[in-house]
Amino acid sequence: MAINRRNLLRGGLAAAGLAAAGTGLSPLVRVRKAWGGGALATRRVVLVGIGGGLRLRESLGMAEGATMPNLFGTTPLISGFGSGPAGAPRIAPEYAAMARGLVLPAVRGTPLHTEGTLVTNLRYADGPPGHLQGHGCLLSGAYNMIENRADARLTTPTIFEIHRKGANAPSTDAWYLSNPGGFYRALLTSGHPLYGPRFAPTYLQPPGVMSPLVPIVTSGTRSLDVGTQALPTVPRDAAADAAVARLSAVIDANTPGWDRDDLFPHAAPDEAAQIQGHVGGFFADATYQTYFPDSFGIGMRADDGGLDSTADALTVFHAERVLDQFQPALLAMTLLDVDTCHQDFNGYLRAQQIADAAVAHLWAFIQAHPSLRDETTLIVMPEHGRHLFFNGQNPDSLGRSGIDHGQGDDGDRNTWMLMLGPDIRRNQVIAPTGITQTGRSSGRYETIDAVMTGMTLLGHGDRLTGDLTTASKRPGLVVQEVLS
Amino acid sequence: MRHLHLIGLAAAAALALGACDTTYDFDSATVGEDDGTSATARSKTSSQFVRGLFADVLGRAPERYDFAVTFNGQPAFNLPIDEETFLVNTLDGMGDPGPLRALIVAGIVGSDQVVLPSKASVSDPEAFIRDQFRRLLGREPNVYELSAFVGQWTSDSAVGPKAIVRAIAGSREYQSK
């Protein structure tokens, strides 16, 4: 093997690593030492961001009934809103008469928060409480002012970039699933010069991709009798797919590589083949049931008595499929159905029920999966809250109307975080105060701390801290109280 | 890997001892990466890809139509389809559109819309492959490409006309501007 600059560097780094082992500790060891030397069990982090803004009042406060009983039970977990056991969500009668019924599984016997730690006073302390800024914070650990454009870029690296670079991980080891498309694509990679598209996660927007219309349109079929005709599919032939990949590679060998600032990230060929196989499996299904089977049991009642998806339910269902197939170290997802609250307060309450059931389903799925259950930490939190006041849109008979977000009042900024997993303390509801850090005025744990804690569990805490500090951003703190 | 580390360690040790007077000045974070001076490929947009694929493989532009759904002969509903808009939006649902582009190509090539000869009916595979390169890439295959394609055609039963079209359409050359 020839000695070139790259080999030399690798060797040099290996040597440097050996030297460091004698005098210092690797970041992961430092993390473990910090919590009494116990070994961390977490190998995977799943981050669920409830996008669109969810207030304390309706979620933990249960002021409109118990909208998230699987996560939080039916008794308010914070004071000042609902009192005593909360009943069912208060849906306005005229709305209930018109709306399609929800399909929800039986509520858990004990709420999910008893299996982990719930921080009830998290603060989204800085930056606009807007969609891309809020989720940009969840996916980077940095407050930011990113513009709402698909070609906008965070100035600090995303958690996907940090993981892929830090762990030398393939794109299939870091996934981002999003209910919305559009400008949320901006959150895959940053504009940081040491990161970028070559460290992008695999991004999938299930509501945009996972549709039987794909095989229908590609088939050219313009009419279909669903009672008598076979449903179109995209043919699947593993031998043909492998042959096609080999032949494409022959041409690619004569073609320049992708520009590092190309319009799209590009997975390595073997990773792309795995992703194609995964997605193609759905398009090859002639029953159309695998896109979103009735057995998922969460969604809206279809006219024929079956199950129709909601975008959030579809996103969580496909997150489970990705977890099953790829078992990535990092999977983040963005839910967004609660954002209907801008115009539809009752829809907001119902979307909380769906998100609640879907997250509980996700955790049950993880716990039932032999490769995931003992190694996966789940973090759930809203990207931010919503205003303290109604906006007057579509008032209902109970005196409620839409609620926006973005002005930054306490309704916008007071939020919560639920963490579950092998390294997380169980059955703990806390609201720590007196948290100090230069530049921190909240005195509380903040959204950036949830991200830092998750990344620390993955062994990337030092890298995230270093990158943020270098960029003059305030890094989050590890929420020590949640760790067992 | 072990071999690699041994070489690297030896080199590092030599440097540390001052036994080598060659120094390397590099940025440890970017060493070995493209320096921007070489030619690189840039992706077609999803719209360019879809329109190009329809023109090259179907010989037509994407269309708008009503997809008519019936149930046991009874009209159920019509769904307006704009082929380009739908496929572009679908492609935007993935970060790297490559795997999905490949599936769209597979769907179209595997459909009744595309009339390709059966493998058995192709008497001159080399001529067929040359035709597809000219049609999709606008150039002749070079001798290595032709040799590889013909060789695979001969040795692999999975390689036939559809696989040839899919492979060319899936290449970085076809996918880039």
CB contact burial A226-253 (16+ within 10 A = b; e otherwise): eeeeeebbbbbbeebbebbbbbbebbbe
Two tokens, residue A118: 């719930």
pLDDT tens digits in sequence order for chain B, 177 residues long: 333 333 333 334 433 344 445 555 555 555 555 555 568 999 999 999 999 999 999 999 999 999 999 999 999 999 999 999 999 999 999 999 999 999 999 999 999 999 999 999 999 999 999 999 999 999 999 999 999 999 999 999 999 999 999 999 999 999 998
Give the pairing type, strands B64-71 and B74-82: antiparallel
Which one-letter amino acid corresponds to residue A378?
A: L
Q: Please state at what angle helix B46-53 crosses helix B83-91, rounded to 10 degrees.
A: 130
Q: Who has greater pLDDT, A72 or B21? A: A72
Query: CA distances (Å), B11 to each of A22, A30, B20, B83, in order?
Result: 20, 30, 9, 58
pLDDT at A53: 94
* Contact assessment for residue A420 and residue A377, using Cβ atoms and an 8 Å cutoff: yes
Q: How far apart are CA A2 and CA A232, in angstroms?
A: 52
Domains of chain B: 41-175 (1.10.3130)
For A25-40, give the secondary structure using H, E and C: CCHHHHHHHHCCCCCC
Look at A14 and B5 and tell me if their CB atoms are within 8 Å.
yes
Two tokens, residue A156: 């600090």
A251 vs B72, B98, B168: nearest CB: B168
Mean pLDDT, rounded, for A11-38 = 40
Look at A8 and B106 and tell me if their CB atoms are within 8 Å.
no
Residue written as tokens 């703190």? Answer: A477
Mean pLDDT, rounded, for A446-460 = 98
Q: How far is B138 from chain A (nearest CA, A)?
A: 13
Residue A462: is its pLDDT beyond 80? yes
Domain A26-209+305-482 CATH class label: alpha beta
Chain-centre distance for alpha carbon B61: 20
Q: What is the DSSP letter of A230?
A: P
Q: How far apart are the first and last CA of chain A?
A: 47
Count Cβ atoms below 10 Å from residue A456 Cβ, excluding itself: 28
Each residue of A297-320: pLDDT tens digit? 999 999 888 999 999 999 999 999
Q: What residue of A is the nearest CA neighbor of B74? A: A225
pLDDT band at A59 (very low <50, low <70, confident <90, very high): very high
pTM across the whole model:
0.88
Length of chain A: 484
Residue written as tokens 């055609």? Answer: B153
Look at B86 and A213 and tell me if their CB atoms are within 8 Å.
yes
Mutation target among A251, A252, A274, A303 for the B interface, most CBs of B within 10 A: A251
B95 vs A12, A223, A264: nearest CB: A264
Mean pLDDT, rounded, for A102-110 = 97
Burial of A84 (0-12, 13-18, 19+ CB in 10 A): exposed
* Contact assessment for residue B92 and residue A185, using Cβ atoms and an 8 Å cutoff: yes
Look at B96 and A226 and tell me if their CB atoms are within 8 Å.
no
Q: How far apart are CA A51 and CA A334, in angstroms?
A: 6
Label residue A48 left, alpha or beta by phi (over 0 means left) and psi (-120 to 50 means alpha). Answer: beta
Count Cβ atoms below 10 Å from residue B26 Cβ, excluding itself: 13
Q: How far apart are CA A136 and CA A156, in angstroms?
A: 10
Q: What residue of B is the nearest CA neighbor of A5? A: B32
Domain boundaries, chain A: 26-209+305-482, 211-291
Angle at A267 between CA A262 and CA A270, to 5 degrees: 145
Residue A212: is its pLDDT beyond 70? yes
Q: What percent of chain A has pLDDT over 70?
A: 92
Q: How far is B19 from chain A (nearest CA, A)?
A: 16
Look at A240 and B34 and tell me if their CB atoms are within 8 Å.
no
B163 vs A234, A247, A254: nearest CB: A247
Each residue of A383-433: pLDDT tens digit? 999 999 999 999 999 999 999 999 999 999 999 999 999 999 999 999 999
